[in-house]
Amino acid sequence: MSIKLNYSNLFPFLSRQELEPFFARARQAQKTLLGKDGPGVDFLGWVDLPVEITEEQILRLESSAKEIRSKCDAFITIGIGGSYLGGRAVSEALLGAGPVAENPGCPAAYYAGHNISAVQMNRLLSRIENRDVCLNVISKYGSTTEPGIAFRILRGWMEKKYGQEASSRIIATTDRAKGALHNLAKKKGYETFIIPDDVGGRFSVLTPVGLLPLAVSGIDIRSFIEGFKSARKRYLKNDDPLSNPALFYAAARNALYEKGKTIEVLSNFESDLHGIAEWWKQLFGESEGKEEKGIFPAAVDFPTDLHSMGQYLQNGKRDLFETFLMVGEKTEEYAVPEDPEDSDGLNFLAGLDFAEVNLRAYNGTKIAHYDGGVPNMTIWLNRIDAESIGELLYFFELAVAFSGYMLGVNPFDQPGVEDYKKNMFALLGKPGFEELGRELQNRQKECGQNISG
């Protein structure tokens, strides 16, 4: 299996001659990644993860997942950002959005710690009230506010419901040797899995961060890993952009960016890929948005958003380009039925499979947006299965590494994420942030003087 990239609709917005220098820059970025001599070298563990995962590690994940399935009918993953997005995205792609209780023999999947909503927390507690629950908390150090609050609440709920047995129902995926969560897990006797020191959160789906929840949901993690291996073999060292779509994609993105296309819209025609698009937004936004540089990543679900955001894409400001995400092979069929009265005038579609209607909607949209002045590419995925999704994720990880280096930023840090955390800590009164807290409170008062309504 392999990913195909159709770039026909980049022309005439870009010429082949204009792309050549970006191909050269992409090759240099690839050399920088392979040589491990660029920014962020301490966070390149993801590059070789596909071939470094051992049979022992896989067996442990599978064994733990089997044990969890035997104990519970609800499995809650606590995390934010890269600590939950990857696993959730893959789960939704393969099993559908929402709880996955319909997957025989597997617990329903719930998520917490990715917001600070009393409504959502109360709703979750109501849904699990009469369920047998296991809890998986994912945090490098255990001090991030959003998942930390959720874990405090849910840990208390578990201890009240199960008493001492709660410790055998809580799994901590955290740092190897330090941090609040590591220390608590050691004290309470939780089963623990390790987040590697050299893998950043948004690149962590092939670590226990993503693999354990997927295994609990009954997903074949061995096939998922094979997809990563396949992509690594095809795209990591191949320096020909015409046969390496990850290299071409990085080059084209940067060429469009330098021509004023500062927004990329990832458009998919398969609703189960919504979570993949959410993961992609974090991967590219957090990797490239630095030093007042970067392409803003946005995503839409078609055809739903054709009746809303489609208007902007067709006629709005021409500072964007579009990347379609399409699936080539249909795995299910449903034909449009015929209506004897043809009251809706849609009998011209009778007998057509939904997949064919969807494909023609894509082709019509692609041409319309091209005619409207939007350069676009299409990433074709063979099918939606564990191996293909694994290949797609590694493709994107490689592409953002190449693209970030081409852009001249460190694709593997996230200094801007820390700014909001400092302000939130200060406003919440965290010890050590008192001076900043007073400054921000004064600024809040000044802002409060300028309110309309």
- Residue 450 has what pLDDT? 61
Which range is least confidently modeled, 64-78, 270-284, 331-345?
331-345
Q: In this predicted model, what pLDDT tens digit does every residue of 86-110 receive, in sequence order?
A: 999 999 999 987 654 457 789 999 9
pLDDT of residue 442: 76
Average pLDDT over residues 285-308: 95
Q: Is residue 421 annotated as a catalytic residue, yes or no?
A: yes
Non-local CB neighbours of 165 within 8 Å, separated by 6+ positions: none
Per-residue pLDDT at 416 exceeds 80: no
158-177: pLDDT as tens digits: 999 999 999 999 999 999 99
Report the percent of the chain where pLDDT is more than 70. 96
Q: What is the pLDDT of residue 99?
A: 53
Residue 101: per-residue pLDDT: 47
The CATH 3.40.50.10490 portion of the chain extends over 4-37+225-407, 46-219
Average pLDDT over residues 57-74: 96
Which range is least confidently modeled, 55-64, 262-271, 318-327, 334-343?
A: 334-343
Residue 307: active-site member? yes
Candidate list 92, 146, 191, 286, residue with the active-site label: 286
Is domain 46-219 in CATH 2.50.20.10, yes or no?
no
Q: What is the pLDDT of residues 38-47, one digit of tens each?
A: 999 999 999 9
Percent of the chain clearing pLDDT 90 (strictly above)? 78
Pseudo-torsion of CA 175, 111, 332, 5, nearest 10°?
-50
* Superfamily per CATH, domain 4-37+225-407: Glucose-6-phosphate isomerase like protein; domain 1 (3.40.50.10490)
Lowest mean pLDDT among 63-72, 259-268, 340-349, 392-401: 340-349
| Per-residue pLDDT tens digits for 207-233 | 999 999 999 999 999 999 999 999 999
Of these residues, 160, 307, 317, 445, which one is catalytic? 307
Rounded to whole angstroms, how far apart are CA atoms 250 and 403?
5
Over residues 139-149, mean pLDDT: 87
Residue 417: is its pLDDT beyond 70?
Answer: no
Q: In this model, does residue 272 exceed pLDDT 50? A: yes
Q: Which is the catalytic residue, given 161, 188, 421, 430?
A: 421
pLDDT in tens, 338-384: 888 888 888 888 888 888 888 999 999 999 999 999 999 999 999 99
Res 235 pLDDT > 80: yes
